[in-house]
Amino acid sequence: MKKNQIITAEITDITNEGNGVCRFDGMAVFVPETALGDTAEIKIVKVLKNYAFGIVNKIIIPSPDRIVSDCPLFPKCGGCSFRHISYESELKIKEKFIFDSFTRLGKLNPQFLPITGCDSSDRYRNKAQYPVSQINGEPICGFFAKRSHRIIPGSDCRLLPEVFSHIAQTVTEYMKTNHILPYNETEGSGLIRHIYIRQAPAAGEIMVCLIVKRSCADKLHELCTVLSKKFPEIKTIVMNVNPDNTNVILGKKTINLLGNGKITDILCGNNISIAPEAFYQINSPQAERLYRKAEEFCQLKGNETLIDLYCGAGTIGLSMASKIKKLIGVEIIPQAVENAKENAVRSSIHNAEFICADAGQAAAKLALKGIKPDIVILDPPRKGCDSSAIDAVSKMSPDKIIMISCNPATAARDCALFEQKGYVTRKVQPFDLFPRTVHVETVCLLSKLHADQHIEIELQMDELDLTATESKATYEEIKDYVLEHTGIESQQFIYRTGKRKMRNY
């Protein structure tokens, strides 16, 4: 295969990044914006040793999954990956991604529950961070093109409330009239870096955060008046100062320009106050469903001690606080911890304690103190849990662990690490919180194998009369083997085969 070669092939798979895959000359060719079942004329743009990249010249036979994109920014803007296929096919791709992550990467064998999709795949995001730049001397905002820092102008993203676009445009128009320059990341010049807008869907309260290179409150006061007059739903406007040459959006210092710097939402019946620095789920209706599923997995009886690690503004733990004895939340961002404490008070919750610390370090301290939680919920960022957190949680030996994650690959890795500590990944429930994008959320139930209820055996492969390969040995096969070799009728077991990965049932 050569660069610029034109091939005709059928798309037979879709990667986790949303790229179509076809095979040609024994090589996998990755082709963006294609759909499973497309037959296309493809131009090869890059050839590596074992695979190649192509772009579509012409679709010859369109996939039945195809739909016409309704967004003028797609596919130039890097936000969406699935605007060209139906939502049902997108959900199937996401389910497969999760299944592959847990079975192939994690070598796990949980029960996979069907994905919970969104009622609406349009305008579901409650948060936007528009980068600001300049084109032909005029300030513009938009979204970064895929894998680049080039801004595609256009603020009306179909994933966001329409009002966000009007607010962002009001800011850029004000900048133009008042000669306020956008930040230029190459030269380090200019002032306004990002327009960050967040809405609390319950009452529609909006926060606007202007991220600036240096403190310039005097330049922004009149803009605050303009914005609050035009958009009465804006409850607070803050200025965040980020002087660094960095990709990290928020700086350390935030100054209130209007209101108290927070907006309030209702989530799972609780009053939730959120600061700009605090993490908040971007799709509130789906987050509520996700939290309810986590609660269902917990099977609460009323006397539990529950630890909520990576708790953000405390939302998950607080949603269950009235049904348990004690809640301990741990979060590293101080403003989020402040929100969590305030949120407990606002919702008259008196059995909650929040600690501002690294999850692993706090869990280790709690373990040393002799805290014995019944349930630990972990909801880490995309990179997953630190191994210190997994070690410390295992030491506390909770009966149940609930792993919530927006990255199936690291979730599978972390569940596999918990399996090495004597836990079993029982159930995996995919949740789509991010329609049209490649992202997907998962909630998993892990439970402890109790020493008095399980045995650990070393399987001799040649003694096993398996119908499938070792990695696919069924529960019944292992159960028969255990019974035959030990005389014990076991319901739960871990088995090891030589150096191969341990597996749990």
Mind telling me the catalytic residues? 406
Q: Which residue is nearest to ligand SAH (CB)?
A: 312
Which residue number, 98 or 337, has a Cβ lying nearer to ligand SAH? 337
Rule CB under 6 A: say whether 294 interacts with ligand SAH. Answer: no
What span, in angstroms and rounded, lies between the C-alpha atoms of 333 and 356? 7
What minimum distance in Å lies between the beta carbon of 314 and ligand SAH? 8
Task: Examine residue 188 and tell whether it contacts ligand SAH (CB under 6 A).
Answer: no
How many of the other CB atoms lie within 10 Å of CB of 200? Answer: 23
Residue 267 as a binder of ligand SAH (CB under 6 A): the answer is no
Is residue 336 a contact point for ligand SAH (CB under 6 A)?
yes
SS3 track for 179-233: CCCECECCCCECCEEEEEEEEECCCCEEEEEEEECCCCHHHHHHHHHHHHHHCCC
How many Å separate Cα 250 from the centre of its chain?
Answer: 19
Instruction: Report if residue 342 touches ligand SAH, rule: CB under 6 A.
Output: no
Q: Is 359 in the site for ligand SAH (CB under 6 A)?
A: yes
Return the structure tokens found at 212: 């600036």
Name which position in 73, 298, 307, 316 contacts ligand SAH (CB under 6 A): 316
State the minimum distance, in angstroms, from the CB of residue 310 to ligand SAH: 3
Q: Closest CB to ligand SAH among 258 and 402?
A: 402
Kindly compute the dihedral angle of the four CA atoms of residues 257, 260, 261, 263, in this order, to the nearest 10 degrees: -130
Cα dist from 173 to 129, 207, 362, whole Å:
17, 19, 47
Scanning 61-69, 80-88, 153-161, 331-339 for contacts with ligand SAH by CB under 6 A, the matching segment is: 331-339
Pick from 202, 249, 333, 502 the residue near ligand SAH by CB under 6 A. 333
The one segment of 119-127, 187-195, 240-248, 376-384 that binds ligand SAH by CB under 6 A: 376-384
Q: Please identify which residue in 30, 183, 279, 297 interacts with ligand SAH, judged by CB under 6 A.
A: 279
Q: Shortest Cβ distance from residue 409 to ligand SAH (Å)?
A: 16
* Choice between 33 and 331, CB closer to ligand SAH: 331
Q: What is the DSSP letter of 452?
A: T
Taking alpha carbons only, the member of 423, 380, 381, 376 closest to residue 401 is 376
Q: What is the 3-state secondary structure (H, E, C) of 107-157?
A: CCCCEECCCECCCCCCCCCCEEEEEEEEECCEEEEEEEECCCCCEEECCCC
By the rule CB under 6 A, 331 interacts with ligand SAH: yes
Q: What does the alpha-carbon distance between residue 203 and residue 97 come to, in Å, rounded to a whole number?
A: 35
**Binding status of residue 335 toward ligand SAH by CB under 6 A:** no
Shortest CB 368 distance to ligand SAH, Å: 17
Count the residues of the shown chain that bind ligand SAH, applying the rule CB under 6 A.
18
CA gap 427, 287 in Å, rounded = 18
Q: Specify whether the CB–CB gap between 427 and 111 falls below 8 A.
A: yes
Closer by beta carbon to ligand SAH, 371 or else 502: 371
Q: Taking CB under 6 A as the rule, does residue 277 contact ligand SAH?
A: no
Among 45, 217, 266, 332, binds ligand SAH (CB under 6 A): 332
**Omega cis (within 30) before 75:** yes
- Give the integer Cα–Cα distance in Å for 143 and 73: 9
Which member of 358, 399, 470, 477 binds ligand SAH (CB under 6 A)? Answer: 358
Residues facing residue 307 across a β-bridge? 328, 376
* Pairing label, strands 6-10, 13-14: unpaired
Give the binding range for ligand SAH (CB under 6 A) out of 132-140, 178-186, 310-318, 445-453. 310-318
Which residue among 63, 126, 283, 315 contacts ligand SAH (CB under 6 A)?
315
Residue 299 CB, shortest distance to ligand SAH, in Å, is 20
Which parts of this chain interact with ligand SAH (CB under 6 A)? 279-281, 310-312, 315-316, 330-333, 336, 358-359, 379-381
